[in-house]
Amino acid sequence: MRLLTLVPVAAALLALIAVASGQAAAQTDKVYGTTVTEGLFEVQTRGTLDFDDDPDKSGKQKHKFTMGYGLTDFWWTEIIMELERDGEEDADLIYEATEIENVFELAEEDGLMPGLGLYTEIVIAEKEGKANALKWRALGQKHWGPTRHRLNVNFDWELGTNADEDIKLGYAWQTKWKLWKLFSPGFEAYGDFGEISDFKSGADQKHQIGPIVYIEHPIRETGKIELLLGYYVGLSRAAADQTFRWMLEYKAKF
């Protein structure tokens, strides 16, 4: 009855969101799953690098360094340090924000029913002029044979004096095919529609899609190293023409 247990938690989080104001970019850099494992420890680094004909966009980088732990069989928490470099020439790599993420597993996969989860994030801005943010994501996950599919629907707000005034909507999708025990190809798609109250035109929205390769290698009995590499092309004018994405993580159960 995990879903019933977490209804009060989810309701409280949604109430907090409902009274928040402002917005943040709804496009994310990772597709989150719904499964939570108690006692699982994880350290991770991930990032993106953009290439574009526009010199102000080409060369933009984002780097995240994370550490997380499964506190219970339904609650995962993680702390993140985010660094970012703008595409402008001579731009520096700057410490952008500290982030606190939580994933709540609301329901396990059961027959035709997908797994369901709720993701929340608090962003504490470190860069001058950058707003704090509150984010949440509705998570879905489903296995069919050797394939696994994940969908995240993203709602983001900025908070404080530097915040904008509306909510942004985005999405992230991942399909992965377990071709071999240690190797899985697939694809991902990311998008940002803009403000819910006034969606941007198609050209000004951000949408990208591309292939991924997922590799894992066991370490002793309870740990493993995972590597994800992805190459994405922009489907809209506002998105970067090309983006290279990577994620390297170590997991171990205690």
Mean per-residue pLDDT over the chain, rounded: 87
Query: Sorting pLDDT into bands at 50, 70 and 90, what band is 152?
Result: very high
d(CA 101, CA 45): 15
Instruction: Identify the pLDDT of residue 159.
Output: 78
Whether 224 contacts 251, CB under 8 Å: yes
What are the distances in angstroms from CA 178 to CA 27, 44, 146, 214? Answer: 26, 22, 5, 9
Over residues 145-173, mean pLDDT: 88
d(CA 98, CA 66): 10
Instruction: Identify the pLDDT of residue 56.
Output: 82
State yes or no: pLDDT of 19 exceeds 90.
no
d(CA 60, CA 142): 33
Look up residue 55 and give its two tokens.
């010199």
Q: Which long-range contacts (CB under 8 A, 24 or more apart) does 160-163 make?
A: 160/22, 160/125, 160/131, 160/132, 161/131, 162/125, 162/129, 162/130, 162/131, 163/21, 163/22, 163/23, 163/131, 163/132
State yes or no: pLDDT of 8 exceeds 80.
no
Question: Which homologous superfamily does the CATH classification assign to the domain defined by 2-253?
Answer: monomeric porin ompg (2.40.160.40)
CA 38-40-45 angle, to 5 degrees, is: 140
d(CA 99, CA 23): 16
Q: Give the tens place of pLDDT for each residue, 195-245.
A: 888 888 888 899 999 999 999 999 988 899 999 999 999 999 999 999 999
Where is pLDDT greater, at 29 or 216?
A: 216
Window from 12-16, 80-84, 164-168 with minimum mean pLDDT: 12-16
State yes or no: pLDDT of 45 exceeds 70.
yes
Instruction: Identify the pLDDT of residue 91.
Output: 81
Which among 108, 133, 107, 105 has a CA at the least distance from the CA of 121? 133
